[in-house]
A and B are shown apart, each in its own frame.
Chain A
Amino acid sequence: MWLDVGSLAAIGGVLGGMLGVASRYLAVEADEAEAEIQAMLPGSNCAQCGFVGCSQYAAALAKHEAGVTLCAPGGRAVAEALAKKLGVHADLSDHEDVGPKVAFVNEELCIGCLRCAQECSTDAIVGANKQVHTVIADVCHACAKCFKVCPTEAIEMRPVPKTIGAWHWAKPATGQQPQH
């Protein structure tokens, strides 16, 4: 009997000790959630969300002080991921309305000053001094930083053209259908 009690006590002691050690050394840092949220954001610090940069937005999100739909370049994908992470319901209807955008250089207005290329957070703008610049559409994520710095307003943010490859059927209308 003492053997049983002793072994159980020993197991309890060892496991308790391990928990104690784990709570000290494997403790979750308070800002880990914030770091994880920041890792989900594009990281281009475009400030379209109204915060100074991605880390400030992430901090606000971690404290549930900001909505999940503010990241314009992230679009639906980021909004949905954030909503899932924070366990909130995201109203994504306005995201649908805005739609993805892409920067476009009006070649008649571009003076080749390179400011946009230096500002671009994904190196999506190619060009050289006094040469007309252009945007690699596949790489552009519409942070609109180039749009803000262009001195001649040569850059437009255009909606991404709809293509057959990206098209899919719309959700069937459920208006008259009662619940299953």
Chain B
Amino acid sequence: MKLFPIRGGIHPDYRKEATSEKAIVALPLPARLYLPVQQHMGAPASVVVEVGAQVKKGQLLARGQGAVSAPVHAPASGTVIAIGEMTAPHPSGLPQLTITLETNGKDEWAELPAPIADPFAATPAQIKERVAASGIVGMGGATFPSAVKLGLGGQYKLEILLLNGAECEPYLTCDDRVMREYADEVVDGARIMAHALGAPKIVIAIEENKPQALEIMTKAASAFANIEVGGVPVQYPMGAERHLTQAITGRETPARKLTADVGVVVHNVATARAVHNAVRFGRPLTSRVVTVSGGAIAEPKNVEVPVGTKVSELIAFCGGLAKEAKRFVNGGPMMGQPLPSLDVPVVKGTSGILALTAGEANEHATQPCIRCGTCVTICPCGLVPVQMAAFIRHDKLDKASELGLMDCVSCGSCSYICPSGLPLVHYFNYAKGALNAADRDRRKQEQTKALVEARAARLERQAEAKRQAALAAAAARKAQSENPDANKANA
């Protein structure tokens, strides 16, 4: 397969060997599961069960609301014992509405929607509807509701469904294991998604450091003429949607546009497996494979975890901590977020749980920028990190924005490579958040102004109507006093 170069990037120490040869093991069902109503981008789901409700595995607990949302289903049978706020698996450590489920160990399935016997005879809308009802979100970590992305076929002329098996984050091997152990399911899910998208071709892209996955997937896809499996160079951030699209097609996605604008839709391999389960068996997304790794974990593993399991229980299942952990990370070490505590649940987007030792976390004091320009050379988005960070440090966020701040994908390559240890990507995450907050404030101001003006106009209208009524009444009185018999005559 012809490949195209992508700009910049880095080659971190991959450290995947700790888990890459470990087959996926299932976590014994925890006694309690904690299910946040928002495990996806978009609007939170609205709870449809009450405290005390008996639920079965796969039963709907919270319904998606709005155009971009996803429902939440019970990962096991049991009793809903609480619906309330609980710390979210989010760096802020803020609380989030969470359903607590006490499992009963029976693992009884609820009545599931009927399997779609021949998905290729079904309409794209039917597939999309099933994927939406199954609560499937992008499992690479972005957690964008997959059904919304499958709907792009209606608006864009798509050529390629690009299945993302790059897994460029160090430590993580969950996608690698899913491809090796569930290759047929992944391929089937990809074919169903391509059908829903109306994309004639499927490309499965895997980084070359996963030769077994490449071989197994090539074999699984060999029966289908429209599927191509390709190895892509090991270069972080190859797994970023826009970069993978460029590597495969040579087309650069324009700023603020989607890859669909260049005819490509990218989905993660684990998402394809979830789509297979939803369409062929009617099963909603209630579990996922999580890589538990890092130097502090006693027995690093790939674990199939019911959504809602506490991170502390997952770490205990992996033998607990062998060394002191300096930092706990939700996701990969490059783009993952620090965990506020271990008492937070695993959610649909949790690809990895890492317990890093002080040596791995490699924290050091920052030094002055030496203007070496390495960050500019390696920025995969072609930006100028040093300049943007300098503007942000002096609170000139709009200047940073003019330099393309919003096109930064927060891959963290600049922070990784900086010889002075400057927290470059931290500056960009802060600035993007601050600009979005300012934008929300501005919209709120506009809304307030519109409402104030509407109210003033209404009060004016009411006053005017009163004046008119008073004038009319006065005129009527005057007419009556001048001609007392007129009314009687009219009557």
- The interface residues of chain B lying within 8 Å CB-to-CB of A167 are 90, 92, 94, 433
CB-contact partner of B94 in A77, A122, A162, A170, under 8 A = A162
CA distance A152 to B392 in the complex (A): 47
CB-contact partner of B445 in A42, A170, A174, under 8 A = A42
CB-contact partner of A122 in B92, B422, B426, B452, under 8 A = B452
Tell me the interface secondary structure of chain A in the complex: loop
Beyond A166-B440, A168-B434, A170-B430, whether A43 also contacts B92 by CB under 8 A is no
- The interface residues of chain A lying within 8 Å CB-to-CB of B452 are 42-44, 121-122
Contact indicator B445/A74 (Cβ below 8 Å): yes
CA distance A73 to B445 in the complex (A): 9
Q: How far is the CB of A71 from chain B (nearest CB, A)?
A: 10
CA distance A8 to B436 in the complex (A): 54
Q: How many B residues face the partner with a CB closer than 8 A?
A: 43
Contact indicator B386/A121 (Cβ below 8 Å): no
- The interface residues of chain B lying within 8 Å CB-to-CB of A177 are 366, 368, 393, 422
Interface assignment of A2: CB less than 8 Å from any CB of chain B:
no
Contact indicator A168/B430 (Cβ below 8 Å): yes
Interface assignment of A176: CB less than 8 Å from any CB of chain B:
yes
Q: Residues 30-63 of chain A: 1 if any B CB is under 8 Å from the residue's CB, otherwise 0? A: 0000000000001110000000000000000000
- The interface residues of chain A lying within 8 Å CB-to-CB of B366 are 176-177
Interface assignment of B399: CB less than 8 Å from any CB of chain A:
no
Contact indicator A172/B426 (Cβ below 8 Å): yes
Q: How far is the CB of A138 from chain B (nearest CB, A)?
A: 8
CA distance A65 to B253 in the complex (A): 50
Which residues 26-43 in B have Cβ within 8 Å of A in the complex?
38
Contact indicator B433/A169 (Cβ below 8 Å): yes
Contact indicator A77/B438 (Cβ below 8 Å): yes
Q: How far is the CB of B385 from chain A (nearest CB, A)?
A: 12
Q: How far is the CB of A9 from chain B (nearest CB, A)?
A: 45
Interface assignment of A101: CB less than 8 Å from any CB of chain B:
no
CA distance A76 to B395 in the complex (A): 14
CB-contact partner of B386 in A166, A170, A180, under 8 A = A180
User: What are 19 A-B interface contacts by the 8 Å CB criterion?
Assistant: A42-B448, A42-B449, A43-B452, A76-B441, A77-B445, A141-B448, A162-B94, A166-B440, A167-B92, A168-B430, A168-B434, A168-B437, A169-B426, A171-B392, A171-B434, A172-B427, A174-B393, A176-B365, A177-B368
Seed contacts A77-B442, A162-B92, A164-B94; 9 additional CB < 8 Å A-B pairs: A44-B452, A74-B445, A77-B441, A78-B445, A123-B451, A164-B38, A169-B91, A171-B392, A180-B371
